[in-house]
Structure 1
Amino acid sequence: MLARAPPAKVAPCKPCMGTGLVPTPCGKPQKPHLESPRVAIVGAGIGGAALALALQQRGVHVSLFERDTSFSMRKQGYGLTLQKYSGAAALKQLGVLLDGVGSNANISLTAAGRELGRYGHGTRLYNDQKVAVNSASDAGRKNVHLPRQALRRVLLEKLSPGTVHWGKKFKNYKETTCSTSSGVELQFEDGDRLSFDLLVGADGIFSAVRPVKLAKNSRDAAVGEAYPLHYLGVFVMLGICHGVSHPLCDHKVFQVVDGTTRIYVMPFSRSCDGDGCLALRQGDEVSTQNNKATVPLLMWQLSFPISEEKAIELAKADPAKLLSEAVERCGSWVDPVPELISSTSIQNLSGYPAYDRACLNAGDLRNMSDEHSAASRVTLIGDAAHPMSPFKGQGANQALLDAVQLARALFRTPTFSPSRSKHRQGLVWQSESCSAGLFDGDVATALSDFEKTMCTRSKEKVRLSRDAAAYLHSNAALAEGNCVRAHAAARAAKSLTDDTTKLKVFDDSSHT
């Protein structure tokens, strides 16, 4: 029997370097072609901006509507971890390169300083006498940390001028379908009514598009209320600060747990102002000559069990109350936690109750109660479709995947890819639609297939993120293991009794 020849190595296409995109001289997408459908996207967050860019790169006319009146209207200064095989891979397909901050190790400790586990190629550098076993870095995975606003800014700046419409609050929509055409009329709070060929809700966990979509879609009235907000039992506090002189602050991700409260610290930005997210304290100077500017900024995430009523109250409290809460809970923990908290300006603190929703059944996005049936040209992506807890770091990564996959699904239909005779500079190679195969159905069929893929992919992420919210604030979080802390906690939870692994929402009178 002849030996099988090794698979041939495939070099990426030189013009596009494997992204599927050929840049224009100016680096911007070209104007939409004349026959291009008009797509409305509600929500200019990560997912909405990425989808707008992906569609414009394919020659589609896009309008992006955002209720905020400006880019920096709301405090959105938390950090993201772009994972190599999800968010980072999606950005590559968009032709977006970011200069984030890398980390070379992830270390877990108890509040008293006992090490619970570590992984990453830099773990030996932290303590030469302790060597990580079964390190997760063996797979060669590298994640990048950066401010959410930095990624959002890059995506928005790549859009064609006039794409984003600020201060437009979505109110309702109405679909029209006939034998010759289909469309969606959007209604806004200011009274404007605008018509498009397709609507995508990318407006987050409190989406305004989602309840309208489910109410219009469900043959069973109960379906519209089948996915209520689910309080996860924990309050999340975020702080941004300058790093301190400590090995754990040197390109490391570390977390400290005590079986109830957890603090997670990661690199945030090399920029001295955190890419515009950091409010400087009196006496600080925005200068690259400033010593603090040479130390990457850090973001810390403090989370702990608390009743929903108290969580809502704390989120509305003065930032000084947040800082006091953090000091009371972690002020005596292992270094450098106390110093990181005390060095954080109250202007750089925020907090919120953590929520998610049960993952959508893809069928509920197509089951219609009116004459439009499954032909609806309205869909959802990102947190509008599958909001999840922050404890697995999946939210932004899944939204980026949604954006790229939806754009590709639409481009493989005759409506969104009318000309395949040649590629258009700045857009997508003709080979994308051909190699992937055209859908036999119309746009609604493409949307249905996309929704099935999205819901299947995100369902497990939602579940694991919800589990992590419980395990990381329980005795299971104290389990030892050189792996992701949530994984170690999940394994430990299986060997513990239900009453020790279940997240208890309690009235702690010492932390009111």
Structure 2
Amino acid sequence: MENEEVSWTICQECKGRGKKSRGLSNKVKLHYQMALDQFEKTKDKGTPPIRPKGHQHSCLNCSGSGLLRSASPPVADKENYPHVAIIGGGIGGVALAVACLHRGIPFTLYERDTNFEARSQGYGLTLQQASKAIEGLGIFSLEEGVISTRHLVHTTAGKVIGEWGIRKWIPSDAKTFQKRTNIHISRQSLRLALLKQLGGQDAVHWGHQLVDFKESEGDAINLRFQVNGEMKSYKADLVVGADGIRSSVRRLLIGEDISPLRYLGCIVILGICPLSALEGITSPLLDSATVFQTANGNERMYMMPYTSDSVMWQLSFPMPEEEAKALSAQGPQALKEEACLRTQWHNPIPQILAATLEAQISGYPVYDRELLKSELLAKEGKVTLIGDAAHPMSPFKGQGANQALLDALTLARGISRGCRAASQWRKAGVRESVLNEFESEMLERSASKVKDSAEAAQFLHSEIVLHEGDEPRGRCLKKKDT
């Protein structure tokens, strides 16, 4: 399906989950009942058997998206669902708003920036697992998305020491294999596509800086924001922090001392270069379908298609934290000079960096945080976190936006399931009805991504990156571990 001016509602056959259970076979049911009977005969000694779950299969009614076309968006069901205050209008926050809209869950989306263009979020991301998740958000094609079909690894002299992707194994038209490829897109393009689902940018409460929140009478949460120098108050039944690695919601919820920012020992410099700026330069690496990286065991350059006619580059290298902060603070000119100085390597890397405008360059030290424990989130019953606010990670595995999208869709589905009309969730509480299960799944799913991303910050700037082999860097480490 192509994107159109269309509204969506959840598929009633799968309840918006995109999957349906096949149920349990009689044999499985019998085995479970026998184990349960045996457990009860021992007068509840030992471990009770776990009730088996039926295998999931894609819902045919909605082709696995969980959505069906609708004449108009569902009307928010304020009587049965909690009102959700979403703090942060980035990828994760807007995705959650979209998923709530489709399910008739009332929400308000707050963003501290004064408008869409206020802060640069224009650098690129790679949709991996989330390629399927965006269909669950009503986006069936990304007009600005670029599909890569080849990935190369070079030494600084240009020798290829690794290659993988569809074009290596199955030479063919890339479009035939879209389901098995990564999609590269700018953050702002994806964010805009999500905002379109909400009816445009007016769906966001811009210029709202969260000050604090606390439970008020009647079991609601009272939120206070600074807006144009004034204090404004709002109420909600559930607060979701989607406000990034320096999340205000997280700080208010669990404090900064418990799991502070953790410096990963390197700095990243980013740039975007239009192919039209590279006059007279031809290279098979610039075919808008190739991702390549070049490394020497210290510096590492990663370059991917940004749009069909531009590329994004990411240079990273180890640097003491204070030096990295100082370099970042000096601004684009100093960052560009540092990048050019360190990458007099094979073509077309020097030419691309030289042609990149300073206005399209930024840089920052790389941080993450230690993994959260579920009990830290559970201390505040009606507040939770998603995306970088919950599990920030380094950019080196390309998982930040992917996990945020999955978080958003999973939470909305959890609210829809746990707060349905017959659930009596107000009596049990939204934490018991939704949040405990959601946070357990989110933290378990993202844990390996945080760990792998932190490890990548180390091995991508070491001799390991020069390992020869047609596989992603670091996979050789996993083989040694096993």
TM-score tier by shorter-chain length is: 0.7 to 0.9
After superposition, the C-alpha distances for 1:7-31 in whole angstroms (9 at most, x for unaligned) are x9978534x33222222235xx233
- For residue 93 of structure 1, report the CA deviation from its aligned partner: 1.0
Q: 1:11 to 1:183 in 2, by over 3 A?
A: closer
Identity across matched positions, percent: 43
Corresponding residue of 2:430: 443
Match runs of 1:303-342 below 5 Å: 303-331=316-344, 333-342=345-354
CA-to-aligned-CA distance 1:370-411 (integer Å, 9 cap, x gap) = xxxxxx110000000000000000000000000000001111
Aligned-pair distance for 1:164? 0.7
From 449, 456, 459, the equivalent of 2:447 is: 459
Q: Match for 2:152: what amino acid? A: I
Match of 1:22 in 2: 68
Residues 201 and 209 in structure 1, CA contact (< 8 A), matched pair in contact too: yes
Alpha-carbon contact 2:164-2:471 (below 8 Å) kept: yes
* Partner in structure 2 of residue 246 of structure 1: 283
| Contact kept in structure 1, 2:88 and 2:111, CA below 8 Å | yes
How far apart are 1:187 and its partner, in Å?
1.0
**Counterpart amino acid of residue 203 in structure 2:** T
Distance 1:9 1:448 in 2: 22
Distance of aligned partners of 1:9 and 1:156 in 2 relative to their CA distance in 1, 3 Å threshold: closer
Conserved? CA contact 2:78–2:106, under 8 Å? no
State whether residues 106 and 123 of structure 1, in contact with CA within 8 Å, keep that contact through their aligned partners in structure 2. Answer: no
Judged with a 3 Å threshold, the aligned counterparts in structure 2 of structure 1 residues 351 and 118 are, in CA distance, closer, same or farther, namely same
The 1:196–1:269 alpha-carbon spacing in structure 2 relative to 1, beyond 3 Å, is same
> What's the offset of the Cα at 1:125?
9.6
Matched residues in 2 for 1:310 and 1:471: separation?
Answer: 21
Q: Distance in 2 between matches of 1:241 and 1:339?
A: 10
**Corresponding residue SS for 2:70:** coil
Q: How does 1:96-107 map to 2 (within 5 A)?
A: 96-97=139-140, 98-99=142-143, 100-107=145-152
> How far, CA to CA, are the matches of 1:146 and 1:164 in structure 2?
22
Letter of the aligned partner of 1:245 in structure 2?
T
Post-superposition CA distance 1:74-115 (Å, at most 9, x none): 1222101001xx211211111212131011111001111222
Higher relative contact order (CA 8 A, sep 6+): 1
Aligned residue pairs total 410
The answer to whether 1:196 aligns with 2:236 is yes
Where in structure 2 are the equivalents of 1:106-505 lying within 5 Å?
106-123=151-168, 141-160=180-199, 162-176=202-216, 181-189=218-226, 190-215=230-255, 225-243=257-275, 244-250=281-287, 251-270=289-308, 296-331=309-344, 333-367=345-379, 376-414=381-419, 417-418=420-421, 442-445=429-432, 446-488=434-476
Code of the aligned partner of 1:87: A
Would the aligned equivalents of 1:478 and 1:489 in 2 still touch at CA under 8 Å?
no
Q: CA deviation at 1:491?
A: 5.5
Shift of 1:255: 0.1
Letter in 2 for 1:351: G
CA distance in 1, matches of 2:64, 2:177: 25
The letter of the residue matching 2:234 is L
For residues 14-93 of structure 1, the aligned pairs below 5 Å read 14=61, 16-25=62-71, 29-35=73-79, 36-83=81-128, 86-93=129-136
Taking structure 2 as the reference length, the TM-score comes to 0.80
**Mapped partners of 1:9, 1:66: distance in 2:** 37
CA distance in 2, matches of 1:480, 1:148: 32
For structure 1, which segment, 182-191 or 46-55, has the greater mean C-alpha deviation from structure 2 after superposition?
182-191
Q: Which residue of 2 aligns with 1:13?
A: 60
Shift of 1:477: 1.1
Q: CA deviation at 1:163?
A: 2.8
Distance 1:12 1:418 in 2: 23
Distance 1:34 1:439 in 2: 13
- In 1, the alpha carbon distance for the partners of 2:472 and 2:248 equals 35
Distance 1:148 1:314, change over 3 A: same
1:145–1:450 distance in 2 versus 1, CA, 3 Å: same
Deviation of the 1:326 alpha carbon:
1.1
Contact kept in structure 1, 2:264 and 2:368, CA below 8 Å: yes
- Cα distance change on mapping 1:79 and 1:489 into 2, 3 Å: farther
Gaps of 5+ in 1: 1-7, 127-136, 216-223, 271-295, 369-375, 420-432, 496-512
Which amino acid counterpart does residue 261 of structure 2 have in structure 1?
L
Alignment CA distance shift 1:439-1:391 (3 Å) = farther
| Cα distance change on mapping 1:77 and 1:486 into 2, 3 Å | farther
Q: Secondary structure at the match of 1:451?
A: helix
